[in-house]
Structures are given as C-alpha cells and as structure tokens.
Structure 1
C-alpha cells in the first residue's frame, strides 16, 4: 500500500487499483516460517498459470520467522505486510500454521507442515497434551473452527482428528502428501541426483538429519559430530552432509551454528543451507542418520538404511509412523565404530518393512496434485483448468559443499 500527501492529508492507495489483470480471485499465502513456506510451495504452484487467480504472500507472526523475508524476496511475489493482510478480504487463504489465522478474512485452507503428525504439543499448551496440528488449540478460536478446509495426508490423521478435535471433522479431507509424491516421482532419477551432487562412483553419501528442539540430534551434536569427522573417512569413500531443520537456523542464526560446529568438531562437516531443497539429497543418499523428524520418515521410501540417532519417546505421538520407524530401525551405539553400524543397518535392511511405514505417510500416493487442485478450486468456486496436473520430478541439486563457509549467516 502506498501513501502520498494530498490537500486533506495522506492519501492511501491500494496497489490493486493499478492491476493490469482485473477481477482476479485473490489468494493469500500465509508464511509463518521457512518450513511452512516450503511446504506450501507444492500447493500454490497448482495455481501458477491460471490468469483468473492472483497469488499474494504475507509473513505471519511466529517465533521462527527470521528467514521468511529472505524466502519471500527469492520468490519475487507480491508481499503484503501483516497489518494490511488482516484488513483485506481474500477469496482463499493458504496456511501451514495456525498462529494469527483467526484475524484474517476469507476461507482458510490448512495443510500439515510435516509428515506423519509426529510431535506432541508442549505440556503447557493445553490442559492435556495433544498431537501437534490436530488439537483444538491449533484449529479453533473460542468455539469456532478457523479453517474452512483441512487437507490431511493419511486416513490415520483423520482418525486422530476424531479423537483430538472432532469439531474439525466436517472440514477435513484426505488429499495425500506432495513431498511423498515428488520423492516417489524422483526415485528413478537417483543416479542423476548423485552426479549433480558431485558424488563419484563408489562414494557413499551419509545424510545426517536433525529436527529442532531438545529431543533432536543437534541437541547431542557434541558427541556425534567428532565421530562423523574421525570415523567416516573420505579415503574409505564416505561423504557426509549435515541437514538441520530450518528452525534451528532461525533459533540460533547461521553464524552461531557454524561457530559451534567448527569449535566442537575441530573441523568441518558439509552443512546444507536451510533454503536448499533437501529431497534430492535424500534420494541420492546411501545412509541416513536421523531422529524423529520428517526427513527420517521420508527416508523410509528410499530403500536407504536408516540409523536412529535419537528418539525422545515422551514427546512423540505413539500412534505415528515415526514411532513405528524408531521400533524398526537400528539405534546408534555410542561405543561401536560408525562404519560397522552403517554396515549392520545395510545388512539387516528389510525393504518391505520400511515400505510398510512409508505407506503410512500418504493414503493417496500419486494423487496429491489431483486431489489438492480439486479442493482449491472448490473453495475458489471456479472450474479447474482443462488439463490434468502433473507431478514434476525434483530439481537437480547443487554440488555438495565441501566445508563450512566462513563468515556470517547464509
């Protein structure tokens, strides 16, 4: 919104009055955090080429949104300040979080911001702990269900919702999981991703993944990092990459993370930036060392041996596929050499058992785009484009970094 001086005081001009395409449906994408924005990309991309629709973005209040402005600048979309967003009427609002949605005007479509609804709410968030994203405190404001629609990935999520917030059942719909479909579409291209990452024949990529919070791998990185540096020798053909949840970066800052890793490790493990797409690395990996985060769960799709670095049972939904994965995958031992543990995980890998866990990520494999587009246009009250939406393979990644970058934040 622009403000200029006039004879009677400030004149406020709505940027929409200068639009070349008029009478478009107005869609607002609410980005609370970098993760939420990345999760929503596969949703608003379904609206990309429709000249009847104008997509705008806003940054909502959240503790982990320091990197959101950079993300929105890279998108080069029209960004509304939150103060403007809450006073504007929209035809559709897309969100992967709950904070502040009750202030917006228009039908809200909620999507999950991760796989499997794994984490439990914090003990003080409600009278009793509930599954993150599926409790009343995430979906209701007073006696009102805030979203007009809630797009879930699996039938199990619908069953969980019936226990934790039955008021939201009428607006819930199982559509599948976009990341599941993108990874599945990309698995046949594994060798292409490995070449793009710069992996040579025979090299073994060990992807180390950490979610955020005190139950994460990064919370114990002082013991794991030296082992990655000393036991996974590049001469023996190992390449490592460290993938930290963007909330870790937002909570501590890139300079501090690099400083900690250099000091504690007395060296450098290649560190994947939070803006990078982690999914091609997962497709190209030979081993995954992970915790209860979504990345480890998606690894169950990829025929890649998994070693659990940490699993905080009391903070995890006991009915989630992540809990089932922790019961199946071998756990990291503090005393045995890492190469032997990786070999053990490879030798005892049972593809069918892991695929059974992966099946719990999506009840609509390969059908997310079809189902989600149908839901989007139903809410917009216009007809869908006259073509089938396609699921694109993941883009080729940048080559793996060779060391931590010196200096400030990425």
Structure 2
C-alpha cells in the first residue's frame, strides 16, 4: 500500500512535518498500526478513546506482514485515515503506538507500544514459523515453549531479549495466568481493562428492535446468525453446506439468515468470489454484509440463535446469551484452557441428519439450564462496561496528558446501512409450499365455527439437496411463476401464477386455461387483477376470485394461490368461504375471502394425480 505523495514529501500530520502545514496544533501524535482489515476494525474501536481531543493527532500505518492485505487500501480510503507507509513510520518517533495484532516488525516502531487483541481475548494458538503468521523472524528460543495463546507468549512479545510492547492489554484476569506461563517477563506491563466490543454489544441490546428493522426482520420472524472465521477448519471451509441447509430447511417466512464472514475469508478469496459462490443463497434471502463494517455486531444484538465455529463471534454470541450450535470447531488451533476451548466443550455440534429447526429448538431449551455457558460468558470480560475508560486512562498516562473530564461510556452500534440491495429477478424463484389448512371445531350444531386457518411455510426449491429425504417438504406443493426458465420446475408445478395482471377481455378464464395448458402438471392457475384480487382456475374448469382484507402487505398473488390451493384440498372443489392466513405461528393473520365464480367438472383431487 502506497501513499499518493511525492517521494520527498512527508504527510502534514507526521511528526517533524512543518508546523505551518497543519490547521490544528496537536500536542501528541499517536500511531495506529494496521495488520489487516480484521485488526483495523478493532483498532478504530480502541482509538475512540481520543475522540473529541484536539491535543491528539492520530496517523496510521500498515506493517505489510499479513497475507490478507487486500481490502486495507479501501478500508483506509473509505474512512479517510491519514496514512504513512511502513518505511516512513519506522523512521519517525511517535508519542504512542497502538496495535491490535502481534504480526510484523513491531520492534521497529519508535514509540511506547500498547498491544491489544483483535478478537474476544486470546483464544488461538499460532506459531510465527507458520507461513503468513507475520514477517518477524523468531528470536532466540522462540517456539521452544509449550504452544500458548497467540499474543501471550514470548514468541510474539519478545525480540532480541527485550519486550516489544510497553503495555499488554488483557480483557480478563484469567489471561494473567496464561501470560505468566507464556511470557512471565510481560506480567509487569499487563493491564486488565476489559473488552470494548463486549461492552458495546451490551450497550446495544436495548436497541434490538431498531437493528432487526434495519436488517428486514419482522417481529414474528427469527434471525439466525451464521458465523464463520477463516481457514479450512472454519464453518465456511469445513461445513459450508450449512449455509444452503439453513436456507433450505428453515421456513423462508419464519427465519432470516445472516452470514457474518471473517475479513480474512472475505479478502483472502475476494469479495466478488464470496458473493459469486453464495449467489444462490443470497437470491434465496441470505443477508451477506461486507465484513469491514460493524453490521455483524448489530446482527448479534438482533439475532435469536447462532451457528458458529471457533471464531470470536461465536464467543460474543454465547456471551450475549444466544442459544447456539457449532457447525465446525478446530480444537487444534484453540488455546487450551481458554474461554473458546470451554465453549467448544459446551456447545453441541450440528447433526448432519436431524432437522435443523429441531436442533435449534433443543439448543434454545438447554441454554438456560447449562451453567457452563454462563461461566464462559463471564470470562469474556472481568471489567464489564469499563474497557474504554480504563484504556483511555492507560493511553493518557503514557502520553503524559491529563484525561478529558467527560466520562467515556460504550456507545451502541450504529444502525446498519451497508447491506446490499437484493437482486430482483423478473421471475420469482420456485418454492415448495407447505400450506396447512385446518377448520376450527364447533361445539355442536350451530353457526359457522369461523374462517379456515391456513399456516403457510415456504422453502426455496433451488436449494433443496438432490436427495429423496426431505422431511420438511412431506406435504408441500410446488409453486412457480409463469415463465420459469427451468423446465424441471415448470413441468412439476402444482400451482402457477401469471406474471401480469388480467385486464379487459383477458379477465375471463381463458388466459388461465392457456396457463394450465402450458403447465401440464399444474392443478391451479392464478392471475392478479387490477383491483388487487386474484382470479384462479382449477384444471377441471372451476373459477374463483380471492381478495384480501386491506392491510396485508405480504399477500402476493403466488401466496394467495397457495392459500386457496390448501383450502380447496381441505374443503373440495366449489368452496366459497374465508381463510385466516398466517406466515408464521406468531404472526398477525390476513383474512382471505374466496368466492367460486364459475363451476367446473370433478374435484380438485382428481386433477392432482
């Protein structure tokens, strides 16, 4: 990454630059050290301690030691960070440096260095001898200790016999014992400040409704968060089919699914490639926010459950009390006796055969009764709500400045704005629809017991695995839109909906008869009318008009057709009546009125063979 300046020009905010170049005259200069996008996002969280203080100028550099360098230039440019090349930064003196990674030649920085984690504490094992772990060569004796947590061993904290950081930031007292085992010489400079990300998440919980609304999650829906770290043993690397499975098995109208992808996975393969691989899933409703923002934090506060792996997001999710499952978990890369290791022992793994909905229900039932999960949550931070204030105290003491008088409290996560707009195909994707119609039982002879109750569950047909075992589709019918490009779906459809409204002379049943003729397997055809009602026709010629009571925003023509289909199977051909339709058991119903406007021959069952 290169700065766009003449070779002989220094950055105006760099130490030693002519004072006349700056509008504000800061008293101290802080260097923010970026390793990759992952570390950069946490770095900005920590540097919030200087907000509002014109005495402090912050500039940034990048060690250039991470194999995941893609995305850094865009991250820096999007946030307009004043940037120095590593060559420039390593020749200058600063009043303080802050790094959220141990990679790179940090010993070259001329400044007191505060080292902090870029995740939920210190949970991973990593040797500097591994390719891509960092460019620093191991010093004498490096790697000779029993492998400990990345960031808590001499391998990462000592260079040429000297400590690299002036301060090691910890989130919990339990890390002191592990630091003592991995690098006892660093204990005098260790500071337990807490976890600023966990503090921010907890401060955001009161705004759960706002996050859910921004993510497009209705009050009667559940949000499932799929969290994946990077590497072959991550959820995406080892169990990537779980993304498809979640969208295929969980009812489309009851669940929204969001994938929180680790920046190293995103930028290691490229954002275009990730979106290309997941395109069928995004088309089926997957929310896929870019990882450089904090949408994943808003999603954690909005979620009802999670499926994760050995990444920090899983630990934060458990810490917030979300029920969860593990889609993958690599014990070999997790530090022994860490909170992450305990999480791996506590959470159940996803079964490849049991229905996913049943597994999530079991996780929700067992979560309150498992004391291990409460103990793990308590190990994320031992200074809840205090991380930023304690870190500010440490930074200002190092800078030799008086702290600002105003208190520093964790702020809620911003409402997400970075979700890409979903693509809109001219032809709706085919869906399997499970439409359960029941009639309220009457106590005896008397008035009509009321509308037929219909519960709709829809599943994307394109994501169903090519196997004969689909228990969630046992009683489903196939609904498509006229013009469906894949013949296998068009031929097999039970219900077909026209794309265009029936107007003028076309409001007769003849266009519906033509629609039925083009789809020989179809039992019921539907076309929207200008009034908002639907005209429907069975293969035996019976014609219906169906209209909704006002205010049903989710009532599409295809859904109308599926609801009528269920009612006709329940009551028989020629039925006239009302149906109370729901998309979820907890959701508000819509009232559908169905009127038979033209008799046919035979029953609906005769046409469904």
TM over 0.5: yes
Match of 1:31 in 2: 34
Match of 2:477 in 1: none
Unaligned ranges ≥5, structure 2: 131-142, 426-609
Q: Please give the residue correspondences for 1:64-79 in structure 2 after superposition, counting only pairs within 5 Å.
A: 64-79=68-83
Matches of 1:264 and 1:201, distance apart in 2: 23
Deviation at 1:13, TM superposition (A): 5.4
Q: 1:359 aligned to 2:342?
A: no
Bigger CA drift: 342-351 or 169-178?
Answer: 342-351
TM-score, normalization by structure 1: 0.91
Matches of 1:141 and 1:39, distance apart in 2: 24
Q: 1:244 aligned to 2:261?
A: yes
Greater share of helix residues, 1 or 2?
1
Contact 1:228 1:269 in 2 (8 A): no
Match of 1:379 in 2: 398
Q: Give 3-state SS (helix, strand or coil) of 1:272's partner.
A: coil
Match of 2:62 in 1: 59
Matches of 2:31 and 2:50, distance apart in 1: 12
Residues matched between the structures, number: 400
Matches of 2:61 and 2:11, distance apart in 1: 16
Alignment match of 2:270 (pick from 229, 253, 269): 253
Rg larger in structure: 2
Q: Please give the residue correspondences for 1:97-116 in structure 2 after superposition, counting only pairs within 5 Å.
A: 97-98=101-102, 99-116=104-121
Contact 1:161 1:168 in 2 (8 A): yes
Match of 2:407 in 1: 388
Cα–Cα, structure 1 residues 122 and 223, in superposed 2: closer, same or farther, change >3 Å?
Answer: farther
Matches of 1:399 and 1:55, distance apart in 2: 26
Q: Please give the residue correspondences for 1:323-338 in structure 2 after superposition, counting only pairs within 5 Å.
A: 323-338=341-356
Bigger CA drift: 154-163 or 302-311?
Answer: 302-311
Match of 1:369 in 2: 388
TM-score, normalization by structure 2: 0.62
Q: Please give the residue correspondences for 1:5-404 in structure 2 after superposition, counting only pairs within 5 Å.
A: 12=9, 15=12, 16-17=17-18, 18-22=21-25, 24-61=27-64, 62-98=66-102, 99-122=104-127, 124-125=129-130, 126-127=143-144, 128-235=146-253, 237-262=254-279, 269-277=286-294, 278-350=296-368, 353-398=372-417, 403=422
Unaligned ranges ≥5, structure 1: 5-9
Matches of 2:398 and 2:340, distance apart in 1: 32
Matches of 1:246 and 1:404, distance apart in 2: 23
Q: Deviations along 1:25-69, whole A, 9 cap, x unmatched?
A: 010101111111111122111102111111111122121121111
Contact 2:38 2:118 in 1 (8 A): yes
Matches of 2:247 and 2:97, distance apart in 1: 46
Matches of 1:274 and 1:131, distance apart in 2: 24
Bigger CA drift: 167-176 or 344-353?
Answer: 344-353
Contact 1:2 1:13 in 2 (8 A): no
**CA RMSD after TM alignment:** 2.4
Runs of 4+ in 1 over 6 A off after TM superposition: 1-4, 263-266
Deviation at 1:231, TM superposition (A): 0.6
Matches of 1:264 and 1:369, distance apart in 2: 38
Q: Give 3-state SS (helix, strand or coil) of 1:184's partner.
A: helix
Contact 1:94 1:109 in 2 (8 A): yes
Deviation at 1:399, TM superposition (A): 7.7
Q: Give 3-state SS (helix, strand or coil) of 1:271's partner.
A: coil
Q: Give 3-state SS (helix, strand or coil) of 1:109's partner.
A: strand
Cα–Cα, structure 1 residues 329 and 208, in superposed 2: closer, same or farther, change >3 Å?
Answer: same
Cα–Cα, structure 1 residues 206 and 263, in superposed 2: closer, same or farther, change >3 Å?
Answer: closer
Cα–Cα, structure 1 residues 162 and 385, in superposed 2: closer, same or farther, change >3 Å?
Answer: same
Bigger CA drift: 347-356 or 157-166?
Answer: 347-356
Deviation at 1:250, TM superposition (A): 1.8
Deviation at 1:267, TM superposition (A): 5.7
Deviation at 1:129, TM superposition (A): 2.4
Contact 1:301 1:355 in 2 (8 A): yes
Contact 1:262 1:268 in 2 (8 A): no
